Structure 1
């Protein structure tokens, strides 16, 4: 068993200030200066200033790199500390911090967020510009990894939504704005999240042979608590059904009785076993 972080819940509505201070041993700052990203030179209207990125180095042979995305109001530090405790010595974890921006669900109050959101569900209007910026940031973080390293993306709550959006960009081969998507993803994990752009995904994939091939082979793990009162359980279920109906053939959906909007050891055990299997990792133990 691994040592569990004392506070495993990451409430979507908590406001966690970004701190310029130190971080846990074993983590280092990937981007010492803040990263500015404009999405699509012809169409960009907003500049996205991403916060500090934390990296957990693999304790064994480096076989995979996974970008893990926090929820609304959180930061990369808290998840990096949790991920460091997992029995996955062959994974390098990259935990970025989202830009601080005005959020509609907070009445315009600024918070760390990967994109703007009116409510936390797939029924919320999609902020395509913000989603594209977040997905591009993920791809940028993965762009310098060695060619023989398997790449993945995962997240919690809004981070899960961003991870799933990155997965759809990979299958389509492009962002929502039409620019090419460069990363080659081998796995996507979403905890307590939802699927953005679910209503338009089937039409976007229709008739695209390469996209259909990627859909059928990309492994996706979705986990959701039945007691989640922030991102309701029904949205997790709907996301799984939407992916299946759009042609994704390797989707695993796990539910947890009584689990609210946080994570527990049982859920993270599932993540560890699934990632170990899907990425073909060696030397992992529970």
Structure 2
């Protein structure tokens, strides 16, 4: 069970956004973005920001930090922590199922994530066995594309996907994100692509685009 930070509207929510943080952060990382979205009262959304488990990170000399999976080499998928990645996918799937117990239908869930969290959001959203409203993938790319091709579930073939990336990102070069978009489109998914003059971060312009996308999808 994942612990999380939650932000609830003043009235009963009509949708839920589960937002996954990046490497070394925690569920509080994107908490402050919610008021910046300036969402209308007519769209009351529950936001859930789970904390990733703590684990040693190879590329950071084994330091213990919150992460959805270990990273040994940013440029080599051969060293990918497949077990950790898929374990996190299962945990996020479990969180969605737990959230649904409140009566929120799966079709009213957005799965969002930044960096590592975006990778987990993409893979979970495209393999889960229930229909979701959309996936928001920020400053990330998708590893394990070959596994996705085998595991993906047709129920979300037409899911709304938003990808955002900084053109000066030194952590995840935009070319890697663009390749992910290309692979997703090859598999028949429609991807709304947005790029910004920024590094590995979130910009005010991006927040405005996220707001517009949420209003469109929900």
TM-score for the superposition, normalised by structure 2: 0.87
SS of equivalent residue, structure 1 residue 154:
strand
Higher helix share: 2
Inter-CA distance 230–259: structure 2 relative to 1 (3 Å threshold):
same
1:240 aligns with 2:181: yes
CA distance in 2, matches of 1:184, 1:214: 6
Cα distance, 1:141 vs structure 2: 2.1
TM-score for the superposition, normalised by structure 1: 0.68
Cα distance, 1:118 vs structure 2: 2.1
1:214 aligns with 2:156: yes
SS of equivalent residue, structure 1 residue 199:
helix
**Is the contact made by 2:123 and 2:142 (CA closer than 8 Å) also made in structure 1?**
yes
**Is the contact made by 2:123 and 2:148 (CA closer than 8 Å) also made in structure 1?**
no
**Is the contact made by 1:67 and 1:95 (CA closer than 8 Å) also made in structure 2?**
yes
**Is the contact made by 2:125 and 2:135 (CA closer than 8 Å) also made in structure 1?**
yes
CA distance in 2, matches of 1:85, 1:72: 23
Any runs of at least 4 consecutive aligned residues in structure 1 with deviations exceeding 4 A, and if so which? none
Alignment correspondent of 1:254: 194
- Spell out, residue by residue over 1:232-256, the C-alpha distance to the aligned partner (whole angstroms, 9 max, x if none): 11111011001111121x2111111
Contiguous gaps of at least 5 residues in structure 1:
1-34, 36-49, 174-182, 280-286
Alignment correspondent of 2:113: 155
Alignment correspondent of 1:55: 6
- Spell out, residue by residue over 1:45-79, the C-alpha distance to the aligned partner (whole angstroms, 9 max, x if none): xxxxx5x4100102455111111000100010121
- Spell out, residue by residue over 1:199-230, the C-alpha distance to the aligned partner (whole angstroms, 9 max, x if none): 3433x16xx8xx34532x11110000101001
Paired residues for 1:95-174 under 5 Å: 95-120=49-74, 123=77, 125-143=79-97, 144-145=99-100, 146-148=103-105, 150-170=108-128, 173=129
